[in-house]
Amino acid sequence: MTRIASLLAHGRTYSFEFFPPKTEEGRRHLAQALIDLQPLQPSFVSVTYRGGPASREPTHDLVAGMLKTTALNPMAHLTCAGHSRLELADILVALRKAGVDNLMALGGDGPAAGELPHAVELVELARAIGGFSIGVAAHPSVHPRSPSRELDRDHLAAKLRLADFAVTQSVFSLEEYLGLIDELAARGVDKPVLPGIMPITSLSSIERQRELGAVVPADVEERLRSARDVRSVGLGLAAELCQALLDAGAPGLHFITLNRSSATREIWESLAVHR
């Protein structure tokens, strides 16, 4: 098991994100994605957390299973939403006992409020328990619930000062990512920020990205809507962006797979990534 902070200190990381499946078909898709992507030897993989007690066992079991049965280096997501401080502490201790060293600390968007209202407080709790390399989320287009851009960046800078690194929501523009880095630098924060990559392979996902608070640039949307083969164009745009991000000095790439392997593999291969 390797701490992500140490990996980032030694060079770029390339990582994949998965979610715990709910159905037997979903479990088959995930198993196949893991088989397909493990040979790429990612620096780490992350496992999402939907929020509340219902997510506790699925995320823990998937992360613990990866440690036991694969060569993957997993990071567990955890959200404040729907949990008391004691429940969060219990989850963190259970993750450490299972051998998990890497944590993504999130506020969460669940319907039930938690005892800890903000992700920064979960970072503080994880630090108190000890042993974790801690990541936090960043929104290049500003969190949908933020009252202003300035406050959004202030809050991000505050939690990133306590954490080791950040992973962004989906990035669709180099300028947007670099703007985020500049805004953090202006606040004295230079921790690594990994851009999240999720290629658009259908027109319906454009609206989905808006719902998640990501901005698809007008020129990108126009190219996709005028394309005969949306998937091919979407993968090409994502590959171009990945290369531009690396050329601009991004500390790595974090691929949001949706438990599928083909899009990630195609982008990876087009980049000819050698680590």
For the stretch 220-274, pLDDT in tens is 999 999 999 999 999 999 999 999 999 999 999 999 999 999 999 999 988 866 5
230-247 and 218-225 are packed helices; what angle lies between their axes, rounded to 10 degrees? Answer: 150
* Amino acid 138: pLDDT: 96
DSSP single-letter state for residue 254: E
How far apart are alpha carbons 182 and 231 in whole angstroms?
32
Note the pLDDT tens digit of each residue in 4-25. 999 999 999 999 999 999 899 9
pTM: 0.94
CATH code at position 17: 3.20.20.220
Question: Is pLDDT of 109 > 90?
Answer: no
Note the pLDDT tens digit of each residue in 169-183. 999 999 999 999 999
State which residues form the domain around 239. 4-271
Query: Mean of the per-residue pLDDT values for the chain?
Result: 92
Note the pLDDT tens digit of each residue in 210-222. 887 788 889 999 9
* Amino acid 208: pLDDT: 84
Position 167, amino acid: V
Number of folded domains in the chain? Answer: 1
* Amino acid 275: pLDDT: 47
Catalytically active residues, by annotation: 17
Cα–Cα nearest to 225, from 197, 198, 255, 205? 205
The distance from CA 68 to its chain's CA centroid, rounded to whole angstroms, is 22
Mean pLDDT over 193-210 rounds to 91
CB–CB of 91/56 below 8 Å?
Answer: yes
Which single residue is written with the structure tokens 């929020």?
51
Question: Is pLDDT of 110 > 60?
Answer: no
Q: What are 116's two structure tokens?
A: 């800890």
* Amino acid 231: pLDDT: 94
* Amino acid 108: pLDDT: 79
CB–CB of 16/42 below 8 Å?
Answer: yes
CA dihedral in degrees (191, 200, 266, 25; nearest 10)?
Answer: 100
Q: Where are the alpha helices (DSSP H) in the chain?
A: 4-10, 24-37, 53-69, 85-97, 119-129, 149-162, 174-185, 204-211, 218-225, 230-247, 262-271
Using DSSP bridges, classify how beta strands 193-197 and 165-170 pair: parallel, antiparallel or unpaired.
parallel
Position 230, amino acid: V
Question: Is pLDDT of 111 > 80?
Answer: no
